[in-house]
């Protein structure tokens, strides 16, 4: 079956256009990380946090009882929905007050070992169950530099 010359020209033109379109649509190598456009800020931001349906913050000596009361005070919620429940129980520790040392010694000596041995004998009796901090410093005492002679013309 012979096609009219006008139809064959159209088919050839369509084939050329289709092939050139496919050549232009060929995959390109992936851009490096430095060439990527920045992501949309809308996608980076998490969804806004919902206000809590129930919240409790209380200082107590009985956390289990306080949590049981929270269960009883919880409002009615829809059963088909999912909820996030967060519970934290932390120990409240007051900052320790500044206390004077139980024993202190500051003495200049030429025999540090003997001075420390004497200090051991002078420490008062302490409770064995408690923890204590012991600090010891031994430093060399250097004599001060001589005072400049005022009669000496040198600086």
Task: Name residue, tokens 């456009």.
Answer: 37
Q: Model confidence over 110-128: pLDDT tens digits?
A: 888 888 888 888 888 888 8
Contacts of residue 136, defined as CB under 8 A and 6 or more positions apart, other chains included, come to 116
**For 70-103, what is each residue's pLDDT tens digit?**
888 888 888 888 888 888 888 887 778 888 888 8
> Over 60: is that where the pLDDT of 1 sits?
no
Mark 41-62 as b/e (b = at least 16 C-beta within 10 Å). Answer: eeeeeeeeeeeeeeeeeeeeee
pLDDT value, residue 34: 65
Residue 92 tokens, joined: 């409240």
Return the pLDDT at 23. Answer: 53
Largest distance between two CA atoms of the chain: 130
Yes or no: say if 115 and 107 are a contact pair by the CB < 8 Å rule. Answer: yes
Provide the whole-model pTM.
0.35
Please give the pLDDT value at position 66: 87
Q: Residue 39: what pLDDT?
A: 67
The reported pLDDT for the residue numbered 116 is: 87
The residues spanned by each domain of the chain are 52-138
Residue 149 above 70 pLDDT?
Answer: yes
Question: Which position has the token pair 């005492």?
Answer: 141
For position 88, what pLDDT does the model report?
84
- Please write the tens of the pLDDT for every residue from 37-71: 776 666 667 667 778 888 888 888 888 888 888 88
């Amino acid at each position: 079956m012979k096609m009219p010359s006008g139809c064959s020209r159209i088919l050839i033109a369509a084939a050329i256009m289709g092939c050139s379109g496919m050549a232009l649509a060929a995959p390109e190598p992936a851009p490096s990380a430095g060439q990527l456009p920045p992501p949309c800020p809308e996608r980076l931001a998490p969804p806004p946090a919902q206000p809590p349906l129930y919240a409790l913050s209380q200082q107590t000596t009985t956390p289990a009882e306080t949590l049981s009361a929270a269960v009883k005070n919880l409002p009615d919620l829809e059963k088909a929905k999912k909820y996030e429940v967060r519970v934290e129980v932390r120990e409240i520790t007051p900052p320790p007050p500044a206390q004077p040392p139980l024993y202190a010694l500051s003495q200049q000596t030429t025999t540090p070992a003997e001075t420390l041995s004497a200090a051991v004998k002078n420490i008062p009796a302490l409770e064995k169950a408690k923890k204590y901090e012991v600090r010891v410093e031994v430093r060399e005492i250097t004599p001060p530099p001589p005072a400049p002679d005022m009669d000496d013309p040198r600086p």
